[in-house]
Amino acid sequence: MLKYLINFILGFIPRRLPKGMTEFNTLVSKIIVISGLPDNDSTRNLTAQFILHLPMSVYYLSPNFIAKQLVKAAAMQVSTQVIKDTSKTTPNENTQS
């Protein structure tokens, strides 16, 4: 809990975007603690894609901002899958039983 609180407070301070794997892994570790997302390839891939889509003028960003964006993206991914799954199981109203 204390590690989360410290990382959360320090997460508001904008940091330079990573230039190497060590910096990237450190950033992802902070984001994982703040967001509660799992430490897996999917989270690392999502973080890398988020950084790739940032405007060229952005080179400082707070870990809290990135964590919020990743949590939102994860929620959207789950919601999309639920919608797909439920629409497949819903019977077509035009067919007769």
Convert the pLDDT of each residue in 6-54 to its tens digit: 888 988 999 999 999 999 999 999 999 999 999 999 999 999 999 999 9
Whether the full predicted model's pTM is greater than 0.85, yes or no, is: no
Decide if pLDDT at 90 tops 80.
no
Residue 89 domain-assigned (yes or no): no
Q: Can you say whether the dihedral through the CA atoms of 15, 17, 22, 25 is positive or negative? A: positive
Give pLDDT tens digits for 58-70: 999 999 999 999 9
Residue 59 domain-assigned (yes or no): yes
User: 49 lies in which domain range?
Assistant: 2-80
- Structural domains of the chain, count: 1
Residue 97 domain-assigned (yes or no): no
Residue 88 domain-assigned (yes or no): no
Cα-Cα-Cα-Cα torsion 22, 24, 25, 31, nearest 10 degrees, comes to: 150
Q: What pLDDT score was predicted for residue 39?
A: 93
Residue 56 domain-assigned (yes or no): yes
